[in-house]
């Protein structure tokens, strides 16, 4: 048998000409109508097992009809956007990573993963690193992409060094950031 994952989604296989639909603002990542991820060239992105054999948590389209939290955050007034900038300026999760993997990050249960010695935390952390690497691979050669690649590579190295041995700490970080974003959103939407 082939690699785990959906049939027809093997790495490097050409995708039918049916136009994939976008989900959030993944850098260079697109999604087919079935939720499979494709890069800019229309090739399926690797799925299956990630680092240490943990299954990758697939990037899927959110079934929620409402706007994604990160999109809502970006629509806030400048006063509240400044609070978001301050939140991420002091965080070990760079805003570039939050932007690149916005919908995937929001679709995970980070609170559940904060429990000590959680295998869920390890799976989420390693999936995030793999997905971050995949997004890096989809970036082009423009000046903006060059800078983003640099920042994402740096973030990848720093996240791995800081949280490899304690992924529960990373899960707690992300859960708290999402909670704080929701608080800022409530304030910002209440004031409009």
**Domain boundaries of the chain, sorted by first residue:** 66-190
**pLDDT for 93-129, tens place per residue?**
999 999 999 999 999 999 999 988 889 999 999 999 9
Q: Which pLDDT value is given to residue 129?
A: 98
pTM equals: 0.68
Q: Which pLDDT value is given to residue 172?
A: 98
Please tell me the CATH superfamily of domain 66-190, with its number.
STAT transcription factor, N-terminal domain (1.10.532.10)
Q: Which pLDDT value is given to residue 111?
A: 96
Of 60, 73, 12, nearest in space to 32 by CA: 60
Q: Which pLDDT value is given to residue 191?
A: 67
Q: Which pLDDT value is given to residue 130?
A: 98
Residues of the chain falling short of pLDDT 50: 1-65
Tell me the HSE value of 22 on the side-chain side, using a 13 A CA sphere. Answer: 8
Q: Which pLDDT value is given to residue 116?
A: 85
Q: Which pLDDT value is given to residue 117?
A: 83
CA 96 to chain centroid: 10
Q: Which pLDDT value is given to residue 126?
A: 98
Q: Which pLDDT value is given to residue 9?
A: 39
- Ramachandran assignment for 28, one of left (phi > 0), alpha (psi -120 to 50 degrees), beta (any other): left
């Amino acid at each position: 048998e082939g690699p785990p994952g959906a049939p027809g989604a093997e790495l490097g296989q050409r995708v039918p000409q049916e136009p994939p639909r976008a989900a959030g603002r993944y850098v260079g990542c697109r999604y087919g109508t079935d939720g499979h991820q494709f890069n800019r060239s229309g090739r399926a992105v690797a799925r299956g097992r990630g680092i240490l054999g943990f299954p990758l948590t697939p990037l899927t389209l959110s079934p929620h009809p409402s706007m994604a939290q990160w999109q809502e955050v970006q629509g806030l007034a400048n006063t509240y956007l400044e609070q978001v900038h301050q939140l991420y300026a002091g965080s070990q999760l760079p805003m570039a990573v939050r932007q690149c993997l916005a919908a995937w990050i929001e679709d995970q249960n980070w609170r559940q993963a904060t429990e000590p010695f959680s295998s869920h935390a390890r799976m989420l952390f390693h999936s995030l690193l793999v997905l971050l690497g995949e997004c890096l691979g989809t970036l082009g050669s423009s000046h903006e992409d060059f800078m983003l690649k640099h920042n994402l590579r740096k973030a990848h190295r720093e996240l791995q060094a800081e949280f490899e041995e304690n992924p529960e700490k990373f899960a707690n970080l992300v859960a708290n950031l999402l909670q704080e974003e929701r608080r800022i959103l409530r304030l910002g939407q209440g004031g409009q």
